[in-house]
A and B are shown apart, each in its own frame.
Chain A
Amino acid sequence: MTANKDILLIHRDRPFVDKIVPVIQGAGFTVHKATGMREALSSLGAHPVGLIVCDKELDDIKGIDFLGFIKKDPLRETIPFMFLVSQANQFRPAEAFTLGAADYLVYPVDARMLVGRIGDVYTAEGQATPRSQARPVPPERPRVRPAGSTPAVKTPMPDQAPAAAAPPKPAPAAPKASPAAVKPAAPAPRPVALPSMNLEVSRDGVIWMPSRIKAFTEQSIALQTSLFGKAGVALMVRFKLPEGIFVVKGHIKSIDFKDFQKPADIDLVVVENDAWRRIFRILTQGPDTARTHSAPATPAAVAAPSGDVMAATVALAETNGEGLIDGAQLQQNAAKKKAAYDIRFYNSLIGKQLDNYRVISLVGAGSMGGVLQGWDVALEREVALKIISFELSSKEEFREMFIKEARVISKLNHQNIAQIYNIGISSDILYYAMEFIEGVTLKEMINKERKLNLSKGLKILSTVCKALEVVYQNSVVHRDIKPANIMVNRAGVVKLLDFGVAHSKEAKTGGKRLIAGTPLYMSPEQIAGLTLDHKSDMYSLGATFYHAFCGAPPFEANEIKAVLDMHLNECMTPLCQKDRGIPIALSGIIEKMMAKDPTERYPTFRAVIEALELLNA
């Protein structure tokens, strides 16, 4: 890993990328570029990469969600991940580090500094034992984000507990409070010229404010910070250095405020202890060359983003951005931008209220609309809010379709189908509220375990068939069956999701305008744009479980067109050949579900269930 000098830079801002890439290349690295997750994944598939540097907001997904996604991929989770973030409110460093990020930098980012940090990550990687992706968890609740345009503080690879364990010497009698307009005493002998090192100060150890060190001596530090204080006040200063996180205590000797609009200059008398002595040495002599590693911290509970984010956004990637099969590059870019605007819109709803539903967070966004997590203030329960995307909401026929979709699903009364509670318009936003499901999607299970345990998979397959039987009975075609749309909730109940493109058989489609679905699992008739029935769902379900049982989809290629072509024309490798562990009978069932000619498939889902039951016998 350390030898691999390929870096994947995922960033939308062209000028920034153009400025930064030459500098990184100059340092001896090869840079691969991407603007969104789809491109990034292609790149990762094409060449091994030693480091990922990622912006917080990509074309099609949030950086943090991409981080979560990568870290769940057993082939890629060991690749170090570095974030570039803004000071704005969306980023939570703790979350990123818990997920496994190696470092983060705050804009504006200096190219040379970035290269330096990249170098640090590589060196640290070289010394860390494999799989010991230390997850530095900030020692205190990191409540404060850096304000002002100062670069972020670097966190160490292996975390070290704050070293200020030594009790402070009894402080001298605090000087009598004096008016603050006193210039800080000139630093005593041996002031050392400093690069602007960043640290944080706090009065109570809970709220930390960023500050800069201007000068220091053996006994004191001159700081600039927006934390206000007065002479005598005791403060803690936290240094985050490659060698570790150190907290130094001291008290304010004097403070100078020239202009209340700007940060203050504080002259801090430091308590001499090991932490300070070590820092002083580092400040005067440079970084420690010998790094001591503590045992890798056990990863804290991973706050993984909801599966639907992955599902929905990968769907976006898989469906060429829109679910619209169209080769034009222009349309593709427009689609990416639209998706970004949609996501911004959904984000702007967080904290607002639509009728009785308070919007909590964004779960995922697809071409048709977004799914947000909400809270029903009247019934006091969690809901999922499905909101129509802006482009569609402006067109009457899509609004109609959206409402129809809601009606269609509400007719399906089944414990394995996510229930719809309510549909409404608030502030001109069309939405419906449905059952909020917390659990794991099939896609995540596949990602985590590579392939599903046979008996578990069979149970899920059987249950989904039962659900689809009901769907069929109601003359509905789901049209988007895929691993991301099958979920197992915390109670172990299987739920079929996202009837987003579902169609009532009676509904007029108004022509072949929209071909929706997910290429990897689309049925041939769906690709060909023919009228669909439940057999199409059966094909997709077969393809889905093909993937689940052996760990790879039935047809794979680098280009969507190629995949579609294979669905139409190519024979798939039988499941039992792909994986010896799979019973021939099961392989046969899946094959029959995926017959190219719909008439050769099982007549009903009930038939599939019966065939599956025979397996157990």
Chain B
Amino acid sequence: MNKVLLVDCSAETTKTLTGILGDTCALSGRSFGDEMASKASRMVILEASGSVEDAAEKVSKLRVGCAFRAIPVIVIHPGEDVATIDRFLSAGASDVLSLDAPPGACRQILQGHLIPHRTPLAQEMAYLTPFIENTVTVFSKMAFVEAVFQEVYFADDLRIFGDISGIIGLSGNSEGTVAITLYWDLARKIIANMMKVPPEKINAEYIHDGAGELINMISGSTKKRFKGTQYHFDLSLPTVVVGSGHQLGHPEGSSIAVLIFEVGQEAFVLQVCLKPRNKASEPGASLQGIEL
């Protein structure tokens, strides 16, 4: 049974949702609190109330609670105002649903979200494994912490949900993007460890350099492993970005691998989007549209 968490859902909404999902999901309802460990649920459904900004705040917090897992966060909100929907999506929602929609449609859409994201193929693990190993190495050698790899799934787009990200563009035999994303608390701790200073002393410059250097070292050390292969790449300079909801594009025909690590109880992700240029190992690459 899929565990679905209903947040701030009215009795009526709960009833409707139970009718739609009750046969395949175990629903439990809570009112929103700042400490929501959404991580344990298969899906979170929030009924938006109050202002759009208030609701978006809640969405953000729920997304943080998901600890980067591929947990759909659905916002129940009437109407189809595009700007509102976008606000929610930027804040971390996976979809916005109006319960005015026919129950069959709601069910179908929610079921679609419940389908788990796919896991990597063997050939994909071949290029992901070095990234995983080097991330663990970098964190261990430079920050003296143990980063434990948790899981990987494939996302459709490269979206940042975190506070600070270090991003590097890749080009060469393969092209793509690699990004590390952390929340502030962990970012401060890691960089404080690296520099051997107390976390309170970490200022913006340290964070900038730290994030940039982390992604630089992870990508740089992984680059070596791909020398001579179709995955070989060159690195650009790291770009450090703050804030959530940013969307970076990705080349056609390749998915983004989201690698989740945990340092103690806190998580961070490495997003790897890598597409070998020559070999059409991804079907999208061969499809260039129709010859007319």
Contacts and interface: CB of A to CB of B under 8 A. Distances in A.
Direct contact of A and B (CB under 8 A): yes
A396 to B, nearest CB: 14
Interface string B72-84: 0000000011110
The residue in B163, B211, B290 that gathers the most chain A C-beta atoms within 10 A of its C-beta is B290
B290 A439 contact: yes
B59 to A, nearest CB: 14
Interface in A362-376: 373, 375
B221 to A, nearest CB: 19
A429 B90 CA distance: 29
Interface string B231-259: 00000111111110111111100010000
B80 A89 contact: no
A237 to B, nearest CB: 14
A349 interface: yes
Contacts, number: 220
Contact of A352 (B116, B163, B290): B116
B162 to A, nearest CB: 12
Contacts of A143: 169, 177, 248-250
Contacts of B108: 341-342, 345, 390, 393
Interface stretch (A297-305, A535-543, A561-569): A297-305
Nearest to A227: B241
B264 interface: no
B72 to A, nearest CB: 9
Nearest to A14: B80
Interface stretch (B11-19, B29-37, B131-139, B151-159): B151-159
Contact of A361 (B177, B249, B284, B291): B284
Contacts of B204: 179-181, 228, 230, 255, 257, 260, 264
Interface stretch (A204-212, A461-469, A507-515, A579-587): A204-212
Contacts of B169: 143, 204, 206-207
A263 B290 contact: no
B89 A13 contact: no
A92 B287 contact: no
Contacts of A349: 112, 115
Nearest to A426: B115
The residue in A305, A438, A448 that gathers the most chain B C-beta atoms within 10 A of its C-beta is A438
A352 B243 CA distance: 28
B109 to A, nearest CB: 5
Contacts of A358: 118
Contacts of A88: 85-86, 89
Given A341-B101, A345-B108, A348-B95, A427 B114 contact: yes
Contacts of A231: 205
Given A230-B204, A448-B292, A345 B83 contact: no
Contacts of A306: 289-290
Given A307-B290, A439-B290, A353 B118 contact: yes
B237 A348 contact: no
A141 interface: yes
Contacts of B112: 345, 348-349, 352
Per DSSP, chain A at the interface is loop
Contacts of A229: 208, 240
Contact of A108 (B83, B109, B248): B83
A328 interface: no
A165 interface: no
A394 B171 CA distance: 48
Given A15-B81, A444-B290, A145 B115 contact: no
A260 B163 contact: yes
Contacts of A289: none
Contact of A206 (B102, B104, B171, B290): B171
B83 A390 contact: no
A391 interface: yes
Contact of B287 (A227, A257, A264, A438): A438
Contact of A87 (B86, B241, B289): B86
Contacts of B140: none
B203 interface: yes
A13 B84 CA distance: 12
B167 interface: yes
Nearest to A345: B108
Nearest to A228: B240
A360 B239 contact: no
A295 interface: no
A230 to B, nearest CB: 5
A131 interface: no
B22 to A, nearest CB: 14
A206 B117 CA distance: 28
B164 interface: yes
A262 B109 CA distance: 34
A12 interface: yes
A390 B292 CA distance: 34
A177 interface: yes
Contact of A390 (B107, B236, B242): B107
Nearest to A233: B208
A348 B164 CA distance: 28
Contact of A147 (B82, B245, B250): B245
B246 A352 contact: no
Interface string B156-199: 11010001100101010000010000001000000000000000
A179 B242 contact: no
A382 interface: yes
B118 A351 contact: yes
A305 B289 contact: yes
Contacts of B251: 141
A226 interface: yes
Contacts of A203: 236-239
A141 B158 CA distance: 15
Contacts of B95: 344, 348
A352 B290 CA distance: 25
A399 interface: no
Contacts of A391: 102, 104-105
Contacts of A16: 81-82
A179 B202 CA distance: 10
Contacts of B113: 348
A490 B289 CA distance: 11
B101 to A, nearest CB: 6
21 contacts: A13-B80, A86-B82, A144-B248, A180-B204, A202-B239, A207-B177, A207-B248, A209-B246, A226-B246, A228-B204, A230-B208, A257-B204, A260-B163, A337-B101, A345-B109, A348-B109, A373-B287, A390-B104, A394-B104, A426-B115, A444-B292
Across chains A and B, which 6 residue pairs bring their CB atoms closest together, nearest first?
A348-B112, A390-B108, A341-B105, A204-B236, A206-B169, A180-B204
Interface of B: 24, 80-83, 85-87, 89-90, 95, 101-102, 104-105, 107-109, 111-118, 121, 154-157, 159, 163-164, 167, 169, 171, 177, 184, 203-205, 207-209, 211, 236-243, 245-251, 255, 283-284, 286-292
